[in-house]
Amino acid sequence: MNTFGMALANVHALRRRLFGLVALVAVAAAVCLGALGIADRAQGAADADVRESSANRSITVDRPDERPDARQLTDRTAARLAKLPRVASVQPRAQASFGVLTEAGDTVLLYATTYRPALPPPVVKSVRKHVFPLRPGEIVAPAKSQGVDLSGHVGEDLDIETTRFVRQGEGKGVRDRARLVGVYDPTWQLDNPDAAYAADTTVIAWAARRAGEPEDRYLSTIGYDQLTVVAETASDVPRVTKSVQELGYPAVTIQQQLDALPAVLDMIGVVGRVLLGVLGVLAFVGAVTVTGALSRQRAQEIGVLKAVGFRTRAVLTMLVTEMAVVGAVAALLGTALGAVLGGGTAALLRGRADLAPYVSGWLVLPSADALCLVLGLTVLVVATGSVVPARRAARKSPTEAMKDW
């Protein structure tokens, strides 16, 4: 029987004594792989969704109200920016405040906002699968605003009140009706904590009414409060940003979705890497302890092998191979347990709306390269930890080995 065959036979014979080391390494590996798997899945989802998403290619141009000499963001401005090189589209935002009156007597002040495809709100409930584009008279509001839960009113016609300009500092309320066709996650606040999306024509009509400006002249005089310039590719963003700024408009890139990985998932990744170090320490110390103890208990066996002609190198190879086999078995068990642990943790995280997109699927493990690296390092560390006590045992002469026994 060759050295590897003897090592396998010895591991099988000593399986009860090796159970503790296998369990220790397997559990540690499972925790590491589960955490790393979730972090890897989340990062992959974030990269895929963000790298070339319209949000990552977006540049925000705000109207600097504090500067009276600043140019208004009119429809001509939007057309001018759309002609810049490497610009895919210009998506304007206008807002107008209005009040919502529910049958329960609750009043909520919202801001009618034009919808921009580059920055879609995360709709959590709606009357149809694709709620955008909106039709005149339809709104999508935050699920909860100012302490009022609006999710229960989806599909209902609500009483609303807008303001008509009378004179400077004075307005008159105008009653109207609007249908709530959807609600979005209120933690998404890029446009305003109380933004409610409506059709462009509806928003412009309400904004013109409030400003006392004819509706057909509103966009050429007062204009939009913000423009979103979408570059053709993510690499074009710096160039387009500079071009917009050179025209005299304040422009900043949208960075929120570049950090799309939520803090809790980022923390899981850090914990996984820390646990990877802990796994290495545990595997090394466990291998040293178990190999030393087994070598002392197997002194007679080692003495007999040396007596029948086994060289020191052969005995050392056999003992180290045994630990390598143990490390491999522990790593494979850890992979299976890690898949279960990662899948269970992912299922819990999917209960949160902001995390669900990042932890899809049930088999949550790191990438194949990372998985092979962790498994290989586990076997290597366990084998390395066994070298010193195995060498000490293998160097003993048959007489010394029998005496120790």
The residues, any chain, with a CB within 8 Å of residue 208's CB and separated by 6 or more, are: 214, 215, 217, 218, 222
pLDDT given at position 83: 94
> How far lies 368's CA from each of 37, 102, 210, in Å?
10, 54, 59
Q: Which phi and psi (to 5°) does residue 252 adopt?
A: -135, 150
| Residue matched to tokens 């010895």 | 10
Residue pair 357/260 in contact (Cβ under 8 Å)? The answer is no
Phi-psi region of 155 (alpha: psi -120 to 50; beta: other; left: phi over 0): left
DSSP E strands: which ranges in 56-101?
A: 58-62, 87-93, 95-101
DSSP E strands: which ranges in 168-250?
A: 170-184, 195-198, 226-231
Q: What is the pLDDT along the chain (405 residues), one digit of tens a residue?
A: 576 777 777 777 777 877 878 887 888 778 777 777 766 666 555 555 544 566 678 889 987 665 556 678 999 999 999 999 999 999 999 999 999 988 778 889 999 999 998 888 999 999 998 999 999 999 999 999 998 999 999 999 999 999 999 888 888 999 999 999 999 999 888 888 899 999 999 999 999 999 999 999 999 988 999 999 999 988 888 899 999 988 888 888 865 444 545 555 555 556 666 767 776 777 788 778 877 777 777 777 777 777 777 788 888 888 888 888 888 888 888 888 878 877 777 677 666 555 555 556 666 777 777 788 888 888 888 888 888 888 887 777 766 655 554
Using alpha carbons only, give the angle 175, 179, 181 rounded to the nearest 5 degrees: 150
The residues, any chain, with a CB within 8 Å of residue 193's CB and separated by 6 or more, are: 142, 145, 186
| Concatenated DSSP letters of 12-44 | HHTHHHHHHHHHHHHHHHHHHHHHHHHHHHHHH
Per domain, the residue ranges of the chain are: 3-51+261-404, 58-256
Reduced to 3 states (helix: H, G, I; strand: E, B; else coil), residue 351 is coil
Question: 138-142 and 170-184: which strand pairing?
Answer: parallel
Q: Which two tokens stand for residue 300?
A: 């007679």
Residues 11-17: contacts with CB under 8 Å, at least 24 apart: 11/322, 11/325, 11/326, 11/329, 14/294, 14/322, 17/290, 17/294, 17/297
Running DSSP on this structure, what letter comes out for residue 73?
B
Buried b (16+ CB within 10 A) or exposed e, 86-104: ebbbbbbbbbbbbebebee
pLDDT given at position 256: 43
- Which residues share a beta bridge with 198? 114, 139
| Concatenated DSSP letters of 124-142 | EEESSS--PSPPTTEEEEE
- Which residues share a beta bridge with 144? 149
The answer to whether the peptide bond before residue 133 is cis (omega within 30 degrees of 0) is: yes
- Which residues share a beta bridge with 182? 126, 140
Q: Which two tokens stand for residue 48?
A: 């895929």
Reduced to 3 states (helix: H, G, I; strand: E, B; else coil), residue 253 is strand
CA-CA distance, 11 to 383, in Å (whole number)?
A: 14
> How far lies 143's CA from each of 2, 33, 120, 156, 358, in Å?
70, 36, 15, 14, 22
CA-CA distance, 247 to 355, in Å (whole number)?
A: 39
pLDDT given at position 257: 44
